[in-house]
Amino acid sequence: MNLKDIVNNAPEHIKKEFIHKTHKKGSLIIHAHEQNNYLYILTTGRAEVYRQSYVGTTLSLSIYDSYSCFGEIEIFNESIKTFGVIAKQNCETIAIHKTKVYEWMKIDFNFNFYLIKQLASKLVLSSDTAARLSLLTAKDRILLSIHNHYKVGELDNLTKQMLSSEVCAPIRSLNRSIAQCINEGLINYKDKKFSIHSIEEIERNLKELLLS
């Protein structure tokens, strides 16, 4: 049973607790690092999930289409930092408080099974991404981090100190890799601010890296 059918067949007393929200294109559905007590079901549109806090060199970006969900990881583990979620199109969501999620799980096997599959899928994806990125050079990790900040509209706030922490590289090594990226015409660094010279070229390089 797909998520749309599961939602449509939810118990009436659970449906009464659904919080319906609309989100304009480009707006944040969930702010990064905030405490999240809700499961979000995307019913219309497309959303992008990004991770700003890093574990080692791990960086993950996900795209969700209608009738997919996010926020389920945080409601089962309060120590995990919330991911940021951006509406890539005009979106509609259903937010369900975790207490009602637990109640729904107790009485609906299909919903329970769906969430377990979601958690297992994201665990495998995260592990696979971490394994791939652990093999990348400092230059490649820098491009990933700069691309991530660019995608969420926060490149102007990125400092060398932040970048050093995110890619797990000392400043001296970082400076060499940044110079290499500049010489290759991928990025610029002026007045302590990063900018992207060619987003198309960066995305082409990253695609090749993550598919290799």
Confidence at residue 19, expressed as pLDDT on a 0 to 100 scale: 97
Q: Is 92 exposed, middle or buried (0-12, 13-18, 19+ CB in 10 A)?
A: middle
Same domain membership, residue 20 and residue 104: yes
**Among 114, 133, 152, where does a domain finish?**
133
Same domain membership, residue 73 and residue 35: yes
Same domain membership, residue 62 and residue 15: yes
pLDDT per position in the chain (212 positions), as tens? 899 999 999 999 999 999 999 999 989 898 877 788 999 999 999 998 865 544 333 344 578 899 999 989 889 887 776 778 889 899 999 999 999 999 999 999 999 999 999 888 877 666 555 555 566 788 888 888 888 778 767 788 888 988 887 777 788 888 999 999 999 989 999 999 999 988 888 888 777 665 44
Same domain membership, residue 144 and residue 119: no
**CA-closest candidate to residue 30, choices 15, 19, 40:** 40
Same domain membership, residue 163 and residue 115: no
Same domain membership, residue 196 and residue 154: yes
Confidence at residue 199, expressed as pLDDT on a 0 to 100 scale: 86
Q: How many domains does the chain have?
A: 2
Running DSSP on this structure, what letter comes out for residue 68?
E
Confidence at residue 193, expressed as pLDDT on a 0 to 100 scale: 92
Same domain membership, residue 195 and residue 122: no
Same domain membership, residue 88 and residue 53: yes
pTM: 0.62
**CA-closest candidate to residue 133, choices 57, 192, 207, 81:** 57
- CATH code of the domain in which 114 resides: 2.60.120.10
Q: Which residues, including other chains, have CB under 8 Å from residue 12's CB and lie 6 or more apart?
A: none
**Among 78, 102, 133, where does a domain finish?**
133
Same domain membership, residue 129 and residue 142: no
Same domain membership, residue 162 and residue 125: no
**Among 66, 100, 133, where does a domain finish?**
133
Domain carrying residue 153: 138-211
